[in-house]
Amino acid sequence: MIFADVVGSTALGERVDPETLRWAMQRWFGRMREVIERHGGTVEKFIGDAVMAVFGAPVLHEDDALRAVRAAAEMRKVGAVVGAELRRDRGLDFGVRIGVNTGQAVTGAGTVAGSFTSGDTVNVAARLEQAAGAGEILLGRETFRLVRHAIDAELVAPLTLKGKSAPVEAHRLLAVASDAPARAPRPRAPMVGRQRERRRVLDAFHQAVADRSCQLFTVLGVAGVGKSRLVQEVLETIDGAATVAVGRCLPYGDGLTWWPLAEALAAGDLLERAAADHGPAAARVAELLKPAGAPVAAEEAVWAVRKVLEVSARRHPLVLVVDDLQWAEPTFVELVEHVAEWTRDAPLLLLIMARPDLLESRPGWGGGQLNATTVLLEPLSETDARDLLGHLTGSALLEDRAAARILGLADGNPLFVEEVVAMLIDDNALSSCEGEGSGAAELTALAVPPTIQALIAARLDRLGPGERAVLEAASIEGRHFARERLETLVSDRASASVDVHLRALARKDLIRSVGAGEDSFRFRHQLIRDGAYDGMPKELRAELHERFANRLESRSSAVPVADELLGHHLERAVLLRRELGETEAATARLAARASRSLRSAGRRATLRDDPASVRLLERALALTPEDHRAPVLVELANALGDAGDLGRCAETAATALELAYANDDRQTAARARVVKLRVTMDRSTGEADQVSLNAAAKPVLDELEALGDDEGLAAVLLHLGHVNQDRYEQACAYLERAMAVAQRGGDRRTAAHAARFLGSIMVFGPVPAAEGIERCRALRRQFADQARTSATLLRHEAVLHAMQGRIEEARALHAEAVRAIDELGIPWLSASTVFGQWVLEMLAGAPERAEASARAGLALLQEMGATNQGSTAAAMLAYALAVQGCHDEALRSADLAAAWAAPDDASSQVPQLAARAHVLAARGELERAEAAAREAVRVSERSDELVQRGDALTDLAAVLARAGRPDEAATALRGAIGLYERKGNIVSVARAQQTLDSLGHKARVANA
Ligand SMILES: Nc1ncnc2c1ncn2[C@@H]1O[C@H](COP(=O)(O)OP(=O)(O)O)[C@@H](O)[C@H]1O
Ligand SMILES: [Mg+2]
């Protein structure tokens, strides 16, 4: 409220011509009105020579007081100019005096005739104006309190006022800062306590820097206990000594596996800079983070992310902060663990915040790792909480009993303490000492809600309807929200004043702006966002979710929006409407949209091998009408299979098949049958299954071919490759076709899978080594951008070189491949490289080296509980030991292999039997030795693995030669040589030939 008057106008009226005076006054009023309106005020009325202006009516702004003071200051300036003009032109003497006051006033509707503004506030404003001297502006107490941060002023002697017993406080305005914010920000309390925790986080950081190592530091604690604040304090201390990247996991829209990482890497252009140091890794991460990027296989994703973090940290120490890890997708949690475990030679601090729920899903979090520390943030101590309360209330009065009650309810939760104080400030129940100190008495009567949620709800209840609407709409997006998107959500009436409300909400410290711009905000705490969201009626929530989704979609042509996000909002809208009793029919269209988004998110997750696909597809399914479910069920069944849940995979495929038949949907039926085949295959053992699987697959294959369904076709061909893996030529043919069909359909994942499998066939199958090398090379070129696939192909190629006698080259290539595979940080994958290494070293005639690699592999696989592959490692170890004459250990190892291996598992049975034959022969138990050797030959003959068959024959020959049966031995050797020659295994051919020659020599000597 402003009152402005022309000084000496009464005197003026006496000696100036009335017409001139009217002209002068009109001119003056006109200029004043301009100024007032420019600052958003309304000229309420002219009373004699005085102007009365109102700010905050009819539209309330949160900075009305400052607007009024700014207007007053400008009125004074303009008044002086007008005064000077009038003096010059008409010799008039004009001065202005102004009073400004703030408070409740009864107002009419703007300047419409008959409106009135009255009340105590008005009287005080008028009195201030009257007390002001020429060119002076006096501010009332409340106005001063509201604009204190933005002005220069001095206290004047209190004014006595008619009808008021107490004198009125007044301040003389000297200057207004031009760039002051609308309202003083609420002062943030300094950090209390937490000294020890701060030290520990800092220690972890310093250690990471000192050792160039990765440290995993986890801060656990309930909401509001101070995790974020602790981290923030530490980061301020670290300031500049490290790059800080922050990502948050979202409580909703599950399936957004990589969201926190995208957010973290976006800060500070980490990804762009990493691209200079490690292009391939950065490129993969970029794809991973794009909502519609190319799918990146799980192992590549994890590797690439670690590389990007590593190279970034090597440039400058890096702190990766992840908030609310309890909400992350399992794949992301595993990523964090992986990075913690595998990062080398890079100063990286993983600073994780989570609610204690994290331990429910990950009971062993960080456990047992030397570089991991977890602290549970306890409630503040009584003293610290009291300190905090003291800081927040500042010089205001708070009665002891009230303080005790607040602290008792807060129970050491600083958020609670803050919210209580904020509520008191909202209610004006706290007054500063500079005021009249009326707070203490009111406080005792104040009801403090007993829980943090109730407290927040109570604060939200105090908001004006416009502010509340804005806050609620903002909660739809989540803890962080953009003004731009918010605008489309609030009803048209409120949208005009979104900015005003946002500022008011910021002033009440419910939200804060993020960054420099005006567009990004966040709720000060997640619980505030939850309070705003939960406080809304379902109907409103449903409507807002739908509008938000529409808003996301309308932009999607330019910026791709994650399907997970879109699906989440649409899904919420449907489910809320159904909870309100709307029928499926009424929500059908919305449900179809939701289901489409979730399904496509689920498919993408499948392509990334992310088990999040299961949940996404289940959610899609729940929103799909019965007669459209079959195709979704097939996708779900596949996702379940990938996640290792064969039981549910089979059930789901069966349901899909039934539905597909009922709908006469041939394509879906065929795909469902492919999944069923896959389950049978994964559960199968033995030859009988192989026959029946082939028989079952054939009609499915034909059907898919007839339908021209590449996706289904590639899958079934890949399965057939697996089913027939010991009949190499057959398998090869299937895999070649699988690869071609998958490539044609753009399915790189299936194509790469087929390529890796083909690579192993080049080694173990009957393909001549030289041809195998060429084939591996070609495939490697084709999959150069896929680390796992190209490294796997390289290691197969290395073994083929060894067969051709280029041992050193083979060793170098193999070592390179192993390095690349180790880089991926997947233990079982690393362990599997020892098999090729064993073959290579046996070819090199270095059984001691072969022994070492088998031993290392066995230890790794044993630790992982992988007895299936472990049996092969044990058998290889047995063989390498036996040929070196370490008989006892060889037998022990052979026993282990026999115990673990399936009877028809040639890769384990052949070497373990051959090892026994060696030992037995050396011990003179020739009959048993021969039996073992013949059994090895028998098992090996079931496959066309030429080298293994040749080896079994060579070993038999050795037993026979020892038994003094050189002719039979020679026959066996000739058989072996024939097999080796077919394979192009020059080394083994030469070795067997040499044995044969010496046999012939011995035979001649014996005959002579
Ligand atoms: N030790 C402390 N000293 C002062 N204020 C604190 C302290 N810990 C937390 N706060 C304040 O309490 C509120 C809630 O803390 P916050 O760190 O957001 O909790 P959390 O992240 O655990 O949910 C924040 O406004 C924060 O500034
Ligand atoms: Mg937090």
Residue 165 above 80 pLDDT?
Answer: no
Give the range among 109-113, 463-467, 587-591 with minimum mean pLDDT: 109-113
Q: Give the SS3 label for residue 25.
A: helix
Side chain identity, residue 871: S
- Confidence class of residue 587 from pLDDT cuts 50, 70 and 90? very high
Task: Please name the residues in contact with 127: beta carbons below 8 A apart, sequence gap of 6 or more.
Answer: 99, 159, 161, 162, 168
Pairing, β 117-118 against β 106-107: antiparallel
Pairing, β 164-176 against β 137-140: antiparallel
Average pLDDT for 469-487: 91
- Confidence class of residue 110 from pLDDT cuts 50, 70 and 90? very low
Nearest bound ligand to the CA of residue 248? 2
Distance between CA 83 and CA 787 in Å, rounded? 82
| Residues 73, 135 contacting (CB under 8 angstroms) | no
Side chain identity, residue 330: P
| Residues 936, 953 contacting (CB under 8 angstroms) | no
Question: How far does the centroid of ligand 1 lie from the alpha carbon of residue 399, in Å?
Answer: 24
Distance between CA 38 and CA 33 in Å, rounded? 8
Task: Please name the residues in contact with 537: beta carbons below 8 A apart, sequence gap of 6 or more.
Answer: none
Q: What is the pLDDT of residues 958-992, one digit of tens each?
A: 999 999 999 999 999 999 999 999 999 999 999 99
**Which of the listed ranges 231-240, 862-871, 897-906 does the model predict with the highest average pLDDT?**
231-240
Q: Compute the mean pLDDT over every residue in the chain, rounded to the nearest whole number.
A: 86
Question: How far does the centroid of ligand 2 lie from the alpha carbon of residue 355, in Å?
Answer: 9
Tell me the best of 220, 232, 415 to mutate to test the pocket of ligand 1, counting ligand atoms within 8 Å of each CB and taking the most: 415
| Residues 629, 619 contacting (CB under 8 angstroms) | no
Q: What is the pLDDT of residues 150-164, one digit of tens each?
A: 788 888 888 777 666
318 backbone dihedrals φ, ψ, rounded to 5°: -120, 135
Report how far apart, in Å, the C-alpha atoms of 733 and of each of 694, 717, 724, 728, 959 are: 14, 9, 10, 8, 38
Q: Which DSSP category does 901 fall into? A: S
Distance between CA 279 and CA 289 in Å, rounded? 15
Q: What is the pLDDT of residues 428-453, one digit of tens each?
A: 666 544 444 444 444 545 677 888 88
Distance between CA 765 and CA 772 in Å, rounded? 9
* Token pair of 223 as six digits: 């909401």
Give the range among 11-25, 385-399, 766-780, 857-871 with minimum mean pLDDT: 11-25
Q: What is the pLDDT of residues 917-928, one digit of tens each?
A: 999 999 999 999
Residue 530 above 90 pLDDT?
Answer: yes
Q: What is the pLDDT of residues 269-280, one digit of tens each?
A: 888 888 888 888
- Look up tokens 């409407």; give the residue: 577
Residue 188 above 80 pLDDT?
Answer: no
Q: Count the alpha carbons within 13 Å of 672 in the hemisphere toward its beta carbon.
A: 23
pLDDT at 96: 85
Rounded percentage of the chain residues whose pLDDT exceeds 90:
49
Residue 1008 above 60 pLDDT?
Answer: no
Residue 756 above 60 pLDDT?
Answer: yes
Ligand 1 atom nearest to 391, measured from its CA: 4
pLDDT at 430: 64
Across 883-910, b (16+ Cβ under 10 Å) vs e yields beebbeebbebbebbbebbeeebbbbbb
Neighbour-count burial of 585, counting CB atoms closer than 10 A to its CB (0-12 exposed, 13-18 middle, 19+ buried):
exposed
Report how far apart, in Å, the C-alpha atoms of 8 and of each of 12, 13, 49, 839, 852 are: 6, 9, 10, 110, 108
Question: How far does the centroid of ligand 1 lie from the alpha carbon of residue 225, in Å?
Answer: 6
Question: How far does the centroid of ligand 2 lie from the alpha carbon of residue 314, in Å?
Answer: 28
Distance between CA 446 and CA 463 in Å, rounded? 18
| Residues 965, 946 contacting (CB under 8 angstroms) | no
Q: Give the SS3 label for residue 574.
A: helix
Residue 882 above 90 pLDDT?
Answer: yes
Give the range among 54-68, 224-238, 789-803 with minimum mean pLDDT: 54-68
Q: Give ligand 1 pocket residues (Cβ under 6 A).
A: 189, 191-194, 221, 223-229, 388, 414-415, 418, 525
Question: How far does the centroid of ligand 1 lie from the alpha carbon of residue 483, in Å?
Answer: 25
Average pLDDT for 76-98: 81
Ligand 1 atom nearest to 193, measured from its CA: 1
Q: What is the pLDDT of residues 189-236, one digit of tens each?
A: 889 999 999 999 999 999 999 999 999 999 999 999 999 999 999 999
pLDDT at 114: 38
Report how far apart, in Å, the C-alpha atoms of 987 and of each of 36, 649, 688, 806, 947 are: 99, 47, 36, 9, 11
Number of Cβ within 10 Å of residue 317's Cβ equals 21
Q: What is the pLDDT of residues 689-715, one digit of tens each?
A: 778 888 888 899 999 999 988 988 999
**Nearest residue (CA) to ligand 1, atom 13:** 415
Average pLDDT for 234-239: 92
Task: Please name the residues in contact with 99: beta carbons below 8 A apart, sequence gap of 6 or more.
Answer: 2, 3, 4, 125, 126, 127, 128, 129, 130, 131, 132, 137, 138, 139, 140
Q: What angle do CA 732, 897, 853 make, to 5 degrees?
A: 75
Distance between CA 72 and CA 39 in Å, rounded? 10
Average pLDDT for 378-405: 84
Residue 291, preceding peptide bond in cis (omega within 30° of 0): no
Query: Which of 402, 492, 414 has its CA nearest to residue 447?
Result: 402
Number of Cβ within 10 Å of residue 875's Cβ equals 30
Neighbours of ion ligand 2 (CB under 5 A): 227-228
Ligand 1 atom nearest to 231, measured from its CA: 17
Rounded percentage of the chain residues whose pLDDT exceeds 70:
90
Average pLDDT for 93-106: 78
- Confidence class of residue 246 from pLDDT cuts 50, 70 and 90? very high
Helix, strand, coil in percent for the chain, rounding step 5? 65, 10, 25
Q: What is the pLDDT of residues 319-372, one digit of tens each?
A: 999 999 999 988 899 999 999 988 989 999 999 999 999 998 898 887 778 899
Question: How far does the centroid of ligand 2 lie from the alpha carbon of residue 562, in Å?
Answer: 25
Average pLDDT for 85-107: 77
| Residues 947, 979 contacting (CB under 8 angstroms) | yes
Query: Which of 324, 319, 320 has its CA nearest to residue 354?
Result: 324
Strand order in the sheet with 318-323: 243-248, 318-323, 348-354, 214-220, 372-376
Question: How far does the centroid of ligand 2 lie from the alpha carbon of residue 235, in Å?
Answer: 14
Q: Report H helices in 804-942.
A: 807-823, 827-831, 833-843, 847-864, 867-883, 887-900, 906-922, 926-941
pLDDT at 726: 74
Distance between CA 553 and CA 551 in Å, rounded? 5
Query: Which of 579, 984, 537 has its CA nearest to residue 803?
Result: 984
Residue-wise DSSP of 550-571? HHHHHHTTTS---HHHHHHHHH
Q: Is the model more confident about 631 or about 464?
A: 631
Report how far apart, in Å, the C-alpha atoms of 258 and of each of 126, 252, 993 are: 62, 14, 58
Residue 28 above 90 pLDDT?
Answer: no
Report how far apart, in Å, the C-alpha atoms of 527 and of each of 475, 481, 503, 535 are: 11, 15, 20, 12
Ligand 1 atom nearest to 232, measured from its CA: 17
Distance between CA 906 and CA 809 in Å, rounded? 29
First to last CA, the chain: 132
pLDDT at 839: 96
Distance between CA 220 and CA 231 in Å, rounded? 11
Give the range among 37-41, 314-318, 319-323 with minimum mean pLDDT: 37-41
**Nearest residue (CA) to ligand 1, atom 5:** 191
Ligand 1 atom nearest to 527, measured from its CA: 23
**Nearest residue (CA) to ligand 1, atom 7:** 226
Question: How far does the centroid of ligand 1 lie from the alpha carbon of residue 62, in Å?
Answer: 27
Residue 59 above 60 pLDDT?
Answer: no
Q: What is the pLDDT of residues 489-498, one digit of tens each?
A: 887 666 668 8
Distance between CA 677 and CA 696 in Å, rounded? 8
Number of Cβ within 10 Å of residue 21's Cβ equals 18
Nearest bound ligand to the CA of residue 527? 1
**Nearest residue (CA) to ligand 1, atom 4:** 191
Distance between CA 455 and CA 556 in Å, rounded? 39
User: What is the value of pTM for the model shown?
Assistant: 0.73
Task: Please name the residues in contact with 399: beta carbons below 8 A apart, sequence gap of 6 or more.
Answer: 440, 441, 443, 444
Give the range among 9-13, 296-300, 835-839, 932-936 with minimum mean pLDDT: 9-13
Tell me the best of 194, 220, 227, 228 to mutate to test the pocket of ligand 1, counting ligand atoms within 8 Å of each CB and taking the most: 228
